Amino acid sequence: MNDIPGRPQAASSAASTTEPYRVMVVDDSAVIRGLLTRTLEGDGTIRVVASVANGQMAINTLQRQTLDVIVLDIEMPVMDGLTALPQLIAADPAVKVIMASTLTAKNADISLRALRAGASDYVTKPSSTRELTGAESFKAELVSKVQALGEAARRADPSKGAPSRPLAPRPVVAPAPGAAPAAAPTGTAAPSPIRSRLLDHGPVVLRPAPDIRPDIIAIGSSTGGPQALFEVMANFRGGLHQPIVITQHMPATFTTILAEHITRQCGIECAEAKDGEPIVGGRAYVAPGDNHFLLVSRNGVTTAQLTKDPPENFCRPAVDPMLRSIVKIYGRKVLAVILTGMGHDGRGGCDQVVQAGGMVVGQDEASSVVWGMPGAVATAGLCSSILPLKEIGPFIRKIALRTAA
């Protein structure tokens, strides 16, 4: 399942004093354009300023309009979405593009190619206008993604307008020398005020890094995650000894294609996890869409367990249950990595990683499409390192290959 709608993501409808996010809808169906427009404008934070039927019309419109977000269909006459995408980004590098397509293997593959080409996210449209009319979950998902990416567009280009909310959750501030450590959020381990790093919004406490070689690497990601995963995992070419387990918020079909893309582009064997299969070193496993991905140990053998337990943090798969299950088996030998994404999925699981003595690495704000998930673990004082995307893969490799401790 993709980011499940219903969670608060960015601005609320109450933010009436801020200029609405400016959106263009691009789809060859006038009926679909109308439905998407009504859905988006039903929220007070969004205004659809253009609605066009193909990629060429979208390019022409962008040259005349200031936009925050473009919702771009894939299959259109004259010029399709994948062809138009690089030209749209060239015309306005700060604009955020959401690819929209029905849920098929072909469209999943095209959507992932679009993400590598610069799209920020995707939504999977219901397969008929009748389904779309009543698809409340799709509508809520679309609105939340437009809000979050509208924020990101305005931060990338301040001339688009002021963001509608503070840059990040209230930061954990490093205490003054000799002062007691700052109180941690409820249910979160108190951070050790060893050192802090000044991010865009202020200081964030970093924990001391445990001097261990992990036995497993666990990665959580959401919006912008596929692009980040490709960047990080390309550094694992040539092999690591540890298994790599991944929860990316995605629907079924998309996760199958994601694993195939990782294998082809990163040179590491990767596949969707299968219920009951042994987890072995040197391979990567992706949580299948609409399933939580857990690890269990029986008779000394660690295997995958897929469940249909209720969504957590509005998500299934979710990062938190994966991390909780891993800590039970690997204890302090866990390296958790939280990449770009909306919401705070992963914060609770990373808390348990830290409590067990493991390590948490977060992606920094500047390189994140949306600094929700990594921001949540960073501002909770759970990270040993907060790094730009390009530095995360080399860092993981260095830690994974260090002498065992």
- Residues with a catalytic annotation lie at 222, 249, 345
Q: Which of 147, 150, 142 is nearest to 122 (CA)?
A: 142
Paired tokens of 143: 């609105």
In 84-148, where do the E strands start and end? 96-102, 121-125
- H or E segment to which residue 355 belongs: helix 347-355
In angstroms, the Cα distances linking 388 to 88, 176, 350 are 25, 27, 19
Query: Residue 46 in 3-state DSSP?
Result: strand
| Distance, CA of 306 to CA of 293 (rounded, Å) | 5
Cβ atoms of 273 and 285 within 8 Å: the answer is yes
Report CA-CA distances (Å) from 53 to 239, 273, 353. Answer: 46, 39, 49
Nearest one of 41, 44, 43, 77 to 58, comparing CA atoms = 77
Distance CA 328, CA 353 (A): 10
**Which residues lie below 8 Å from residue 398, measured CB to CB, with a gap of 6+?**
none
Alpha-carbon gap, residue 167 to 194, rounded angstroms: 24
d(CA 233, CA 268) in angstroms, rounded, equals: 8
Residue owning tokens 């509208």: 150
